[in-house]
Amino acid sequence: MPPRAARLGDIRPFHVMRLLERARELEASGRNIVHLEIGEPDFATPQPIVAAGRQALEDGRVHYTPARGLATLRQAVSGYYRERYGVDVDPNRILITPGASGALQLALAALVDPGMGVMLSDPGYPCNRNLVRLVEGVVRAVPVGAADGYQLTPELAAAHWRADTAALLVATPANPSGTLLSRAALAELAELCRNRGAALIVDEIYQGLTYDAEDITALAFGEDIFVINSFSKFFGMTGWRLGWLVVPADYAADLDVLAQNLFLAAGTLSQHAALAAFSPETRAILEQRRETFRQRRDFLLPALRELGFDIPVTPEGAFYLYANCRALTGNSFEFSQRLLEEAGVALTPGIDFGDHRAGEHVRFAYTTSLEALEEGVERLRRFLCGQA
Amino acid sequence: MPPRAARLGDIRPFHVMRLLERARELEASGRNIVHLEIGEPDFATPQPIVAAGRQALEDGRVHYTPARGLATLRQAVSGYYRERYGVDVDPNRILITPGASGALQLALAALVDPGMGVMLSDPGYPCNRNLVRLVEGVVRAVPVGAADGYQLTPELAAAHWRADTAALLVATPANPSGTLLSRAALAELAELCRNRGAALIVDEIYQGLTYDAEDITALAFGEDIFVINSFSKFFGMTGWRLGWLVVPADYAADLDVLAQNLFLAAGTLSQHAALAAFSPETRAILEQRRETFRQRRDFLLPALRELGFDIPVTPEGAFYLYANCRALTGNSFEFSQRLLEEAGVALTPGIDFGDHRAGEHVRFAYTTSLEALEEGVERLRRFLCGQA
Ligand SMILES: Cc1ncc(COP(=O)(O)O)c(C=O)c1O
Ligand SMILES: Cc1ncc(COP(=O)(O)O)c(C=O)c1O
C-alpha cells in the first residue's frame, strides 16, 4: 500500500457522524427521530437568493470566476459591513471562498508555519484543530468554561500565551456554546495579538444570529484582524458552499494567489445567487428567521434547565445550547447513544468539541421546528424519568 | 503586522493572470483580443445538466450533503467507469470533491509528510507544486521534453527516484502539453510505485478529451492508484466546482474525515446537476464538442507549425498545444506580452508551467471558436512578419 501521511492518523472522526448514521438506520426501519444534532438551519435558502441563482443559470453563468471572487460580490459584502455594522472594509481586502471552511484554510495556511501554535478554545468548532494540523501547526487548546462564558477571553489568552503562538482563533457567536465575545473582549484580544506579533482570527460565521446581544464585527477593532464569514448559517446557504475572508490589506495579493492554487475559485452560480443575499427583501426574511430561532431558544433553554441540564451562561447567538449533563450521566457519549436508541433523540456529544470536560457535556441544536423541540423535550423527560 | 507563513512567500503568482488583466484593460479600451490562454471550455454547461440543476433548485436541494458526496452520484461515477472504461470501481472508493483542485489537495494531504518528495513533470499544471508546498512536501520536478512526449515516463521516474519519494503525480492528457501516457506507461508507473512503496496519483481531469488516441483510465492498472477527476473540462462544468477522487479502499474512511474537515462537502446543487452528466443525452452533446475540439486542433496545429512554432509531439488530448517558440523569440514571456500589446493575441507563457526551457515555450488553448483561431493565426502571421 502507498504511504500514509502522519496527519491522517491524527485527524479524528466526529462521533456525531456515527450517531447520525445510526439515526438514519433507525429512521429507515420506521423509527421517528428528533434531530437536535444538525448544525445547519432547517430553513430553505431565502427565495430572492434562489431566484438569483435560477437567473444566473438561465444566463449561463457557469465558467470560472476570478480566484478571489466576483468584484460585484466583494463590493456587496463591503457595502453590508458599512450599512449594517458601520465599518469600512475595502473590497480588496475581501476574498470570496468555498464556505467558511475555505476561509479558515486560507487564513491558517497564510499565517501558520510548521511547529507554530494556534490558540483556540476547548470546547470549540471541531474542524479547527484539524485544519491547524493540516498545515503542520500545533493546536494550543485552552480549556474554557462557564466562568469565561465558554470563550477564549483576553485574560485566558494572556495567561496561556507561549513563545510559539502565531495566531489566536476565536468564534463569536461560538459553536458549540452559542456564547459571544463582547466589544471590549474583541478589542483587547486584538490589542494583545498586535503587541505580541500574532494574528487574531475571528470566525463570525454565526454573525446575524444573535438574540439579546448586539450584533457586531471584529473588523471594527483593527485592520490587522482576519475575519472568517460565510453565507451558510445566517443567510441559509449551507449547500451552496460560499463564504468569505477579510484580511489585512498587505495580505490580499498573496491570498488571492493562494486561493487560486487551493480552490481556483468559489462556485460561480453560488456567487451570483449570493448577490441577492443583502437585498432588503432577503434581509426581511432573515429577520423573521432570527425571530423564529429566538423563540426556539426561549423554549428550549428553560425546558432543558428544568430537566436538570446545567446551562450556566445564557447562549445569546448561533443555534446551539451547550449543556452540562453531569447531574444526569457520567458519560455524555454513552448518554447520547442511549438517548438515540431508547428515546429517539439525537444530540452531539461533547467529545466532538474537544477534551475539556467533554464527557459532561452535550450540544443541542435548535435547527428544527418548535413542535419537534417540544417532542424532543417530552422524550427526554420520559427517558430521564425511566432512568431515575 | 501579523506573521506570514513561509509558504506564502514560496507560492508564485501566475504570469498569465497579469496578461489576462492587461487583456481586460485593452478590451475595456475598445481593443479586440483573441484569447488563446483560457484553460476552460468556451461551451456552456450541457443543457441536461443545467436542467437537473434547475430542478434541484426547485426541489430545495440546498443543505449540506455527506462529506464524500451524494451516494447516487458516487454510484453514477462508478457506473460510468464500468460502462465506458470497463473498470469496476466500488462507489465507496469514490469521494466527490470541490473540483479536481479539492481532489488534489485531499490526495496530497493524505500521502505526503513534511519533507517528503513528490515527483512531477516540468512543465506541468502550475498549482501542483504549490499544493505540494502547502502540505510541506518537497517538489521534485523532472524536466520533460519532446523525447519523453512531455510526460514523466517510467524511465524518467526510475532515473529520478530518491529515497524521499512519497508520490508521483502525473496527468494524462496533460496540461500544458496535451500529450498522453500510454496504457503500458501507466501500468509501469503503477508497478514502479508499488515496488518502491510510493503512491501513484494520476490526474485524469482531461479524460474524455482525446482525439486520435484511446480514452483510458489508470484505474485499470491497480486498486492502489489515486485518480483525480473533475466535471470541469470534459463535462463543461468549471464554475460548478465539482470533481472526484478515487482512492484505495483502505484510505476511503480516513479521506472522508479529511474531506469533512477541509470542505465539509462539495456543493449540493452541483452534485444534483452532475447526476445528469452521464445520461445518453449529455454524452451525445459531449461527443459533438469533442469533435469540435478535434477540428480546432486540426486547424491550429499545422497553422502554428507553419508559422515556425515547433510542436514535435502531436497533442492527442485536452485543449492545449505546448509550442517551442525558440525560432521566433529568446524570451517567451516578453513575446507573450508583446503579442498581446501589438497583435491582440493572448497566450500563456511557459514560465507558468515550470522552469525547464520555460522561456522557449508558450501554451495555446483552443478554447475559442474556429473563426477566432483563424483570426489569431492571422494576427500571429502579421506580427511575425513585422518582427522578421
Ligand atoms: C464555527 C464554524 N466555523 C466554520 C464552519 C464551516 O461552515 P461553512 O464552510 O459551511 O461556511 C462551521 C460549520 O458548522 C462552524 O460551525
Ligand atoms: C491538470 C489540471 N488539474 C486540475 C485542474 C483543476 O480543475 P478543477 O478544480 O476545476 O477541477 C486543472 C484546471 O485547469 C488542470 O488543468
Residues B129 and B192 in one domain: yes
Same domain, yes or no: A59 and A134: yes
Q: Are residues A368 and A338 in the same domain?
A: yes
Write the DSSP assignment of B112-156 as a string of letters: --TT-EEEEEES--HHHHHHHHHTT-EEEEEE--GGGTTS--HHH
- Nearest ligand to the CA of A106 is 1
Provide the 8-state DSSP code for A341.
I
Chain B, window 28-67: residues with a beta carbon less than 8 angstroms from a chain A beta carbon:
40, 44-45, 50, 53-54, 57, 60-65
For residues B39 and B97, membership in a common domain is answered with no
A144 alpha-carbon distance from chain centroid: 17
C-alpha cell at A109: 495556511
CATH of the domain at B123: 3.40.640.10
For residue B112, give the nearest of A5, A44, A266 by CB distance. Answer: A5
CB–CB contact B167 A2 (8 Å): yes
pLDDT at residue A220 in the model:
98
Q: Among B232, B247, B279, give the residue marking a domain's end.
A: B279
* Closest Cα in chain B to A200: B2
The answer to whether position B1 is within a domain reads no
Residues of chain B with C-beta less than 8 angstroms from the C-beta of A114? 114, 136
Do B53 and B162 lie in one domain? The reply is: yes
- The predicted model scores a pTM of 0.97
Q: In the predicted model, what is the mean pLDDT of residues A233-256?
A: 97
Please indicate, yes or no, whether residues B296 and B381 belong to a single structural domain of this protein: yes
Give me the tens of pLDDT residue by residue for chain B, a chain 388 residues long.
889 999 999 998 888 888 988 999 999 999 999 999 999 999 999 999 999 999 999 999 999 999 999 999 999 999 999 999 999 999 999 999 999 999 999 999 999 999 999 999 999 999 999 999 999 999 999 999 999 999 999 999 999 999 999 999 999 999 999 999 999 999 999 999 999 999 999 999 999 999 989 999 999 999 999 999 999 999 999 999 999 999 999 999 999 999 999 999 999 999 999 999 999 999 999 999 999 999 999 999 999 999 999 999 999 999 999 999 999 999 999 999 999 999 999 999 999 999 999 999 999 999 999 999 999 999 999 999 987 6
Are B346 and B335 in contact by the 8 Å Cβ rule? The answer is no
Chain B residues within 8 A of A10 when measuring between CB atoms: none
Q: Is residue A1 part of a domain?
A: no
Q: Answer yes or no: do B11 and A254 touch at CB < 8 A.
A: yes
How far apart, in whole angstroms, are the C-alpha atoms of residue B351 and residue B355? 6
Mutate which of A101, A179, A204, A320 for ligand 1? The one with the most ligand atoms within 8 Å of its CB, which is A101
Q: Which atom of ligand 1 is nearest to the CA of A125?
A: 1
A291 and A151 assigned to the same domain = no
Q: Look at residue A37 in the predicted model and tell me its pLDDT.
A: 95
Ligand 1 neighbour A138 (Cβ under 6 A): no
User: All 3 cell numbers of residue B162?
Assistant: 530518491
Read off the CATH number of the domain in which A346 is found. Answer: 3.90.1150.10
Q: What is the pLDDT of residues A27-84, one digit of tens each?
A: 999 999 999 999 999 999 999 999 999 999 999 999 999 999 999 999 999 999 999 9
Please, are residues B120 and B168 in contact by the beta-carbon 8 Å criterion?
yes
ipTM value of the model? 0.97
CA angle B56, B60, B62 (to 5 degrees): 90
Q: Are B276 and B78 in contact (CB under 8 A)?
A: no
How large a percentage of chain A has pLDDT more than 90? 95
The three state secondary structure string of A147-211 is HHCCCCCHHHHHHCCCCCEEEEEEECCCCCCCCCCCHHHHHHHHHHHHHHCCEEEEECCCCCCEC
Whether residue B128 sits in one domain with residue B182: yes
pLDDT of residue A129: 96
Count of structural domains within chain B? 2
In a domain, B63, yes or no: yes
pLDDT interval class at A17 (50, 70, 90): confident
Instruction: Please work out whether the CB of residue B178 comes within 6 Å of at least one atom of ligand 2.
Output: no
CB burial class (10 A; 0-12, 13-18, 19+) of residue A146?
A: middle
Is the Cβ pair B134, A135 closer than 8 Å?
yes
Q: Tell me: the pLDDT tens digits for A164-179?
A: 999 999 999 999 999 9
The amino acid at A164:
D
Average model confidence (pLDDT) across chain A: 96
Cell of A53: 441563482
Distance CA B77, CA B89 (A): 9
B362 and B263, same structural domain? no
**Cα–chain center distance at B70:** 24
**pLDDT value, residue B387:** 76
Task: Say if residue A244 is in the same domain as residue A97.
Answer: yes
Residues A195 and A240 in one domain: yes
Interchain CB contact of B111 with A (< 8 Å): yes
Sheet architecture: strand order including A117-122: A94-97, A243-246, A226-230, A199-203, A165-171, A117-122, A138-143
Q: Are A124 and A140 in contact (CB under 8 A)?
A: no
Range of the domain at B303: 6-44+282-387
Last residue of a domain, one of B262, B279, B296: B279
Looking at the complex, does the CB of residue A182 fall below 8 Å from at least one CB of chain B? no
Q: What is the DSSP letter of A17?
A: H
* Cell matching residue A92: 480588496
Contacts of B289 (CB under 8 A, 6+ apart): B41, B43, B236
The residue with cell 456554546 is: A177
